[in-house]
Amino acid sequence: MQTPAGKPRSRGVFRYFAVSTVILFGVAALAAALHHALRDSYPGRKFEGFFREALAMGSTDDNFLLGRFASRYDVCIYGMSDPVAESGFATFFGMVRNETWMQSNLIYRTDVSNCPETTFFYVFHHKGEDSVIRSTIDDLTYITARHGMTFPQDHSLYFQTYSPGLVVQLAPPGKDRKVYSAINGFAGTSSEADKMLAHNIIQQELLQAILNAGDLEVNRTPVSIIEEWNISTPLRAPMADPQYRAQWLEHNVYNMCLYDIMLLITLYAWDESILDDRLGSYIRYIRNNYEAIEKRAREIQYDERYSDIFVQKC
């Protein structure tokens, strides 16, 4: 059929659809841009990024599996006996029991061989003696042999430098995972800096083990006990030097901060939407519950039961 001007009507119809399509695509693009802008500006964006960096090595893969502890497990703390440190251990794990679904059982022993075979998390509490590196290697050799694993001899190279605290995840294929931590309690020190450092190390190593999180190096004031601002130095083992330790404390946090609590109560939250242990589920959980997560973390930070942990609010 022709129009009075002699032009096919269909051309006008197709032109209409073409223009409509452009308009619809424009609206869709605008909606997507607004969605991304709103997502990037929502209050939890910074914490979401920190969660990815701390627990998923910065991954954006929704299927990335996070390394959680089981709901029930035995913790064997052995080595140096210190009432102050033992109180710190008890308060930390008490907080974890109260605020998450993890129910750990604390056991104190004098030697690793006295720890029960049901032990999942081994904690060697020492006083920084000269033999501590050798003891660490011997203990790891014993633990891996006890649980049917082999401790590679080349791993001993990683323990040749003094460290006030370390965490080792033992997870060979086909074997149940075990976790080991060595923590310097700086027993007998008169230095206030070392006492503060001992307070920091207990929390840092226990938290990193539970979160399966490594150190995050920064060159700014940390917002988390996981973050470390390491001062440039020519020393081969800087943390063995008391002056460096004091300087390190001036640039790092004294205890767990708000973001640390948020990591803990998010990773081990009572919520069916995150049962599959995948990063994508947690990111959606954070976006849907950020205000509640932050509010609960602040309540924990100021809870008198945990005042020994959160001496400084950061």
Angle of helix 258-267 relative to helix 83-99, nearest 10 degrees? 50
> Mean of the per-residue pLDDT values for the chain?
87
- The residue with tokens 């901060």 is 257
DSSP character at residue 168: E
Please give the distance of CA 181 from its chain centroid, rounded to a whole number.
15
238/244 Cα distance (integer angstroms): 6
CB atoms under 10 Å from CB of 287, counted, come to 13
The SS3 call for residue 309 is: coil
- CA-CA distance, 92 to 5, in Å (whole number)? 86
**Range with the lowest mean pLDDT among 21-25, 169-173, 194-198, 212-216?**
21-25
Torsion sign, CA atoms 310, 262, 298, 223: positive
Percent of the chain with pLDDT over 70: 85
Question: pLDDT of 94-147, one tens digit each?
Answer: 999 999 999 999 999 999 999 999 999 999 999 988 899 899 999 999 999 999
Name residue 253's amino acid: V
Q: What is the pLDDT of residues 255-288, one digit of tens each?
A: 999 999 999 999 999 999 998 899 999 999 999 9
* 218-227 per-position pLDDT tens digit: 999 999 999 9
pLDDT digits (tens, 9 = 90+) for 163-192: 899 999 998 888 899 999 999 998 878 889
Burial zone of 298 (CB within 10 Å; 0-12 exposed, 13-18 middle, 19+ buried): middle
Cα 14 to Cα 247: distance, rounded to the nearest angstrom = 73
CA–centroid distance for 68 within its chain: 10
What pLDDT does residue 13 have? Answer: 37
Q: Rounded to the nearest 10 degrees, what angle do helices 279-301 and 258-267 cross at?
A: 130
Beta partners for residue 126, in sequence order: 184
Q: Is 2 helix (H, G, I), strand (E, B) or coil?
A: strand
